[in-house]
Amino acid sequence: MWKKACKTLLIKYLSVFIGVTLVLFIIEKLIPSSYIYADYNSLSSANNILGLNKPLFIQYFYFIYDLITLRLGNTSNLIYSGSTHTGIMEMLPETLFLIILAFIVILVISYKIGFFLGFRSMKDQRLDINIFPVTVLYFILPIVL
């Protein structure tokens, strides 16, 4: 029984991993790549160095390998320039702080609304119908943002 459960979970997680990485790979290939060649002398040298002259099937496996080994490349934008991995590590503490803070605020507001609706008399059903979507919105909001 445990073998079957582990096998099922492995198949599910593996299929989700392949599906997500395939979508990311397709999105990466759809992005115009003219900005990639700015750092290289010629188009052919850029294709050889970046592996863009290989078939898409091989490029996908290079993409998976780079993703697993955290070779995410470099980035250059208004906030940060340099290694993408270093940029993520620099931004991660602030991001986690904001996520935890938003979760605490949502819990406090939602529990207050829940206690208010739970302890009052059931005279006014319209209030329940109007407040329930707001409570659900508070739980969904950080996921959407």
For residue 85, what pLDDT is reported?
81
Asked if residue 134 is part of any domain, the answer here is yes
**60 and 100 share one domain:** no
Instruction: Report the largest interatomic distance among the alpha carbons of the chain, rounded to a whole angstrom.
Output: 76
Q: Are residues 52 and 104 in the same domain?
A: no
pLDDT of residue 97: 93
pLDDT of residue 4: 84
Domain containing residue 114: 92-144
Q: What total of structural domains would you count in the chain? A: 2
Question: Consecutive sets of 10 residues in the chain, 145 residues long: mean pLDDT of each?
Answer: 84 90 88 63 70 85 86 75 83 89 83 73 66 72 60
102 and 139 part of one domain: yes
pTM above 0.85, yes or no: no
The pLDDT assigned to 34 comes to: 57
Instruction: For residue 82, tell me if it sits in a domain.
Output: no
| Domain-located, residue 40 | yes
Query: CA–CA separation, 97 vs 45, rounded Å?
Result: 43
Does residue 102 form part of some domain? Answer: yes
Distance (Å, whole) CA 18 – CA 119: 48
Predicted pLDDT of residue 114: 73
Residue 97 and residue 140 in one domain: yes
As to burial, measured by CB atoms within 10 angstroms (0-12 exposed, 13-18 middle, 19+ buried), residue 94 is exposed
Among the candidates 18, 41, 71, a domain finishes at 71
Same domain, 19 and 60: yes
Strands (DSSP E) found in the chain: 74-76, 81-83
